[in-house]
Chains A and B, each alone.
Chain A
Amino acid sequence: MFTDDPAALADDDSFLEQGIIDSTGIMEVIFFLEEEFGIRVDDDELIPENLDSVNRIARFVQRKRVAA
């Protein structure tokens, strides 16, 4: 996500396992999602199922926007 090489990350790769994002980096991700998609992420939504890959994030954001 923060590399010059866009091919370095596949859509299903785990950010945590790849060492791309740590728990602090999640802040940056949520910050971006909230800003870009106008959603609010609650504490109980901070789970890997929602946020730990590009595809998971995409699905999560979609669900949130439908619910909103």
Chain B
Amino acid sequence: MCGIAGIFSFTGGKPAQPWELRAMASMVRHRGPDSIGFYRNRRVGLAHARLSIIDPTGGQQPLHSPDRGLSLICNGEIFNYRELRRDLLAWGYDFQTESDSEVILALYRRYGLDFVHRLNGQFALALWDVREERLVLARDRVGILPLFYSRQGERLLFGSEVKALLPLFDRTPRLNPVALDQLMTFWAPLAPETMFEGVHSLLPGHMLIVTRDETRLRAYWDWHFPDQGDWRGQSEAHLAEELREWLSDAVRLRLRADVSIGTYLSGGLDSSALTALAAAQSDDRLNSFSIGFGEGSGYDETPYQSMLAESLGTLHHTVVCQPTDIVSRFPEAIWHTEAPVLRTAPVPMCHLSARVRGTGCKAVLTGEGADEVLGGYDLFKEMKIRRFWARQRHSVWRPLLLRRLYPYLNLNGQRAPAYLEQFFGMGLARADSPLFSHLPRWITTARCKLFFSESLQAELTGGDALGGLQASLPQDWERWHSFNQAQYLEAKTLLSGYLLSAQGDRMLMANAVEGRFPFLDHRLIDFAAGVSPHLKMKVLNEKYLLKRAVADLVPADICRRPKQPYRAPDGPAFFAGDEADYVRELLSEETLQRYGYFDARRVMHLLSKARQGRAIGAKDNMALVGILSTQLWHCLFIENFQQRFSGAGHDSRNHLDTGETDVDNRKDQTAYSGELLVHRRSGGLGG
């Protein structure tokens, strides 16, 4: 995988300068440390920082068509490139390299903008068509790889991360209040919103077509479900077998690489199944990687992981992440997420990818998507029970079913169930709301917004996050089963916005490790969409069909084990023992007031509770982590904007202006440096 960046100049826009491309590329160099390549003309400039995985010697980018009428930079992998290549060779395309990305050029030649439908992969790409004077930006179907763009004057800037765009900003960007509102509701900004005002995230399953006079957004794929009742008619046994075939093939394609591939092993069903399938198809012994949190942490799954690794015969590596690691690595994680987070869970993932990199693996298979595609989340169970309960709201018996969920919560005494009932009773009267399934979660999360300052609240008068989401639902939504509706919401909010981003791509690419997601193979998604919800979750047995499909691969204990959510030490970690300097500085009354996003008095109240070591609930936890990470985000990207971004790369103005393409194998220093972080009031950095 790689980092891409570039500039398109509209009519009257200044052509891309070599130093500009270099500055952009250096910001995403962590994604592609192996080499850098450039291409530019008066209309467009392309930069590519490469992590070589397929055809390490010949796959240098930008790639060009033989007649040089097309140029391409691509971050990602086209897994079905061998099949595509065979067809395109027969059609007569003259391939220049062995790179998987080159099939994109050939497909574009043959099918125009429909090229994208043929790709089975994960990608964010920019394709320049000389004849049409057209730039095409495209992002994979579900949003595995990121792509951002921003119009600055008469130019369009784009890149794998927002930080690639920032060196060319004329002025310091502002926080986008709409995105923060969304984040404090859904856990992430929803594309196209980003935390930076004026910067957009290209929607998953979309392309942006840019010509000298206009930009046009075009959708090519979306999650889609059949009308209620219109399910696949085959028997359960047949469907389980077919699911197994799709999954097995998705793994097979994702083992294609010229480098060593490992797997993430969480201890749950999905990663176990993937590891077993991968082990069966690999010649070498597989490396597997897990996170542990130490015994007694309440989050640790090390015993299951070790048992699995042993039974699957992998060479297993465990990274133990202590609460102090979370604190010390948190700022770097926010540098990569480019957005606040409400949980610290991404941080250990960064720890983990560093370990993967240390063993020489460049790519890992990982289980994200299984819960969305095949019905694994507790939220789906909650919804079922809440719908059942909503029909007889005064029933005493119906809400008792909620106690069946969450055996891992260790509920003591009578209060906890009462709390659960209160929590899940939220929005019960709104059973006809399209967002019914997610209301308890989103209403609870949105309580973080109580900490917003008056001035921030004043900027948020244009409607709320829930209304915005509701307005974006597809036309045939009404005809879908409520289970499918919940799957859709989950895929469009948490999966692409957070799990694949803050907790996925960003933590993987922080250490130049590529994640590969077999459960998100679009053929598997399309197949599973047609499977009856009753087979995805049988009564309250989650991922039922998947369990049946992989029963022979995974130890029975794992199949029977209730699903464990992945969690890491949260809020209290920041206040145990000596507080880190950055925590104290960023959460001081003075800094809170100066940044202006939060009501300092309320935050002080929350902090005193946390500092006294008093137990804080999930809601306070989210608020604490959310506030701290928002402050960090501001410190990194806004307050220190001048030092970090303005003029970045100017020192290399004279480099690389000899021709239209060039390759540079110099190693850059990482753009992130921890010591800039702690804000010093006396230094007069901000204001």
Contacts and interface: CB of A to CB of B under 8 A. Distances in A.
A and B held together in a complex: yes
B658 interface: no
B401 A24 contact: yes
Interface in A1-52: 2, 4, 24-25, 27-28, 30-31, 34, 40-43, 46
Interface string B382-401: 00110110011001111001
Contacts of B388: 27, 30-31
Contacts of B539: 24-25, 27-28
A15 to B, nearest CB: 12
Contacts of A27: 384-385, 388, 398, 401, 539-540
B391 A4 contact: no
Given A24-B404, A27-B385, A27-B401, A2 B538 contact: yes
B417 to A, nearest CB: 16
A4 B538 contact: no
B418 interface: no
A40 B392 contact: yes
Contacts of A41: 392
Contact of A4 (B237, B385, B398, B401): B237
B540 A24 contact: yes
Given A2-B538, A24-B539, A34 B391 contact: yes
A50 B236 CA distance: 29
Q: Tell me what chain B mostly uses at the interface: helix, strand, loop, or mixed.
A: helix
Contacts of A34: 391
Contacts of B237: 4
B235 interface: yes
B538 A42 contact: no
Contacts of B538: 2
A33 B26 CA distance: 62
A43 B404 CA distance: 18
Given A43-B397, A46-B397, A4 B392 contact: no
B399 to A, nearest CB: 11
Nearest to B387: A31
Interface in B378-425: 384-385, 387-388, 391-392, 395-398, 401, 404
A32 to B, nearest CB: 10
A43 B398 CA distance: 8
Nearest to A21: B539
Nearest to B395: A43
Contact of A43 (B235, B236, B384, B396): B396
Interface string B621-632: 000000000000
A34 B538 CA distance: 18
Contacts of A31: 384, 387-388
A27 B37 CA distance: 60
B235 A4 contact: yes
A43 to B, nearest CB: 5
B395 A4 contact: no
Contacts of B398: 27, 43
A31 B404 CA distance: 17
Nearest to A35: B391
A18 B219 CA distance: 51
A43 B396 CA distance: 7
B424 to A, nearest CB: 14
Contacts of A30: 388
Contact of B392 (A2, A25, A28, A42): A42
Contacts of A24: 401, 404, 539-540
Nearest to B397: A43
Contact of B236 (A4, A25, A42, A46): A4
Given A4-B235, A27-B539, A40 B397 contact: no
Contacts of B236: 4
A20 B214 CA distance: 62
Contacts of B235: 4
Interface string B525-539: 000000000000011
A64 B184 CA distance: 46
A44 B540 CA distance: 23
Contacts of A40: 391-392
A30 B391 CA distance: 11
B234 to A, nearest CB: 10
A42 B237 CA distance: 36
Contacts of A2: 538
Contacts of B396: 43
A41 B389 CA distance: 11
Interface string B211-241: 0000000000000000000000001110000
Contacts of B540: 24, 27
B316 to A, nearest CB: 36
Contacts of A28: 539
Contacts of A43: 392, 395-398
A48 to B, nearest CB: 14
Nearest to B535: A2
B325 to A, nearest CB: 40
A30 B404 CA distance: 17
A4 B240 CA distance: 12
B426 to A, nearest CB: 20
Which of A24, A27, A40, A43 gathers the greatest number of chain B CB atoms within 10 Å?
A: A27
A68 to B, nearest CB: 15
Interface string A42-67: 11001000000000000000000000
9 contacts: A4-B237, A24-B540, A25-B539, A27-B384, A27-B398, A31-B388, A41-B392, A43-B392, A43-B398
Given A25-B539, A43-B392, A43-B396, 20 more contacts: A2-B538, A4-B235, A24-B401, A24-B404, A24-B539, A24-B540, A27-B384, A27-B385, A27-B398, A27-B401, A27-B539, A30-B388, A31-B384, A31-B387, A31-B388, A34-B391, A40-B392, A41-B392, A42-B392, A42-B395
Interface of A: 2, 4, 24-25, 27-28, 30-31, 34, 40-43, 46
Q: What 10 A-B pairs come out closest when comparing CB atoms? A: A43-B397, A28-B539, A25-B539, A4-B235, A43-B395, A24-B540, A27-B388, A4-B236, A24-B404, A31-B388
